[in-house]
A and B are shown apart, each in its own frame.
Chain A
Amino acid sequence: MRSISRRDEMSFAEPAALPVAASAPPRLHILNRFSHRFKTSLPAYLLLLPSLVFLALFTYGAMGRVLVDALYQRATPRAPVRFVGLDNIAAVLADPAFTGAVVNNLVYAVGTAIPSIGLALLFALALSRTNALTSALRAALFLPVLIPMVAASALFLFIFLPNVGLLDYYIGRFLPVLPNWLGDSDIALYAIMVITIWKNAGYYMLFFLAGLQAVPEDVMEAAHLDGAGPYQRLRHIILPELKPTFLFVTVIATLNAVTQVDHVFVMTKGGPSNATNLVLFYIYQRSSTTTSARPRQRHC
Chain B
Amino acid sequence: MLFSRRIMLGLAIAGTLASALTFPALAEGPTEIDLFFPVPVDGKLARDMGTLIKEFNETHPAIKATAVYTGSYDDTLIKTRASIKAGKPPAAVIMSANFLLDMQIENELTNLDPLIAADGTTKEQFLGQFFPALQGNAVINRSVYGVPFHNSTPLLYINADKAKEAGLDPSKPPQTWAELTDWAKKLTKREGDKVTQWGIAIPCAYDYCGWMMETLTMTNGGRYYNEEFGGEVYYDTPSMLGALTWWNDLVTKHKVHPPGATPGPAVSTSFISGNAAMMMLSTGSLTYVRDNAKFAYKVAFIPRNVRNAVPIGGASLIVPAGQEADKQKAAWTLIKWMTSPEKSGWWSRATGYFAPNMAAYKTPDMVEFLNKNPDAKTAVEQLEVAKPWFATYKTVPVRKTLEDEVMLVLNGKKQPKEALVAAQKAADETLKPYNAETSLKLP
Contacts and interface: CB of A to CB of B under 8 A. Distances in A.
Contacts of A271: 205-206, 261, 403-404, 407
A288 B260 contact: no
Interface stretch (A106-114, A158-166, A210-218, A239-247): A158-166
Interface in A231-251: none
B413 A185 contact: yes
A77 B104 CA distance: 12
Nearest to B404: A273
Nearest to A168: B275
A297 interface: yes
Interface in B244-284: 258-263, 265-266, 269-270, 273, 275
Interface string B103-144: 001111000000000000000000000000000000000000
Interface stretch (A41-49, A175-183, A198-206): A175-183
Interface string A264-289: 00000101111000000000000011
Contact of A76 (B106, B260, B270, B275): B106
Contacts of A177: 193-194
B57 interface: no
A161 B266 contact: yes
B108 A269 contact: no
Contacts of A290: 394, 397
B436 A273 contact: no
Interface stretch (B78-86, B211-219, B230-238): B78-86
Interface residues of A, number: 30
A178 B205 CA distance: 19
B195 to A, nearest CB: 8
A291 interface: yes
Contacts of A76: 105-107
A185 B106 contact: no
Contact of B273 (A78, A164, A180, A185): A164
A269 B266 contact: no
B411 interface: yes
A93 B138 CA distance: 38
A177 B194 CA distance: 6
A272 B396 contact: no
Nearest to B207: A269
Contacts of A180: 258-262
B400 to A, nearest CB: 7
B96 to A, nearest CB: 13
Nearest to A158: B269
Nearest to B398: A289
B50 interface: no
B370 to A, nearest CB: 32
Given A180-B259, A290-B394, A186 B411 contact: yes
Interface in A142-197: 157, 161-164, 176-178, 180, 182-186
B241 to A, nearest CB: 19
B293 interface: no
A183 B394 contact: no
A272 B273 contact: no
A288 B270 contact: no
Contacts of B74: 288-289
Interface in B314-334: none
Nearest to A161: B266
Contact of B433 (A185, A289, A297): A297
A118 interface: no
A296 to B, nearest CB: 8
Given A176-B194, A288-B81, A297-B433, A184 B404 contact: no
B404 A274 contact: yes
Contacts of B193: 176-177
Interface in B382-431: 394, 396-397, 400, 403-405, 407-408, 410-411, 413, 430
A61 interface: no
A75 B430 CA distance: 13
Given A176-B192, A271-B404, 14 more contacts: A76-B107, A77-B81, A77-B106, A157-B265, A161-B266, A161-B270, A164-B270, A177-B194, A178-B195, A180-B259, A186-B411, A271-B205, A272-B261, A272-B410
8 contacts: A77-B107, A183-B258, A271-B403, A271-B404, A272-B261, A273-B413, A289-B394, A299-B436
Interface of B: 74, 77-78, 81, 84-85, 105-108, 192-195, 198, 204-206, 258-263, 265-266, 269-270, 273, 275, 394, 396-397, 400, 403-405, 407-408, 410-411, 413, 430, 432-433, 436
Interface of A: 75-78, 157, 161-164, 176-178, 180, 182-186, 269, 271-274, 288-291, 295, 297, 299
Complex A-B, nearest 10 residue pairs according to Cβ-Cβ distance, in ascending order: A183-B260, A180-B260, A272-B407, A288-B78, A272-B261, A183-B261, A273-B407, A295-B433, A184-B260, A289-B396
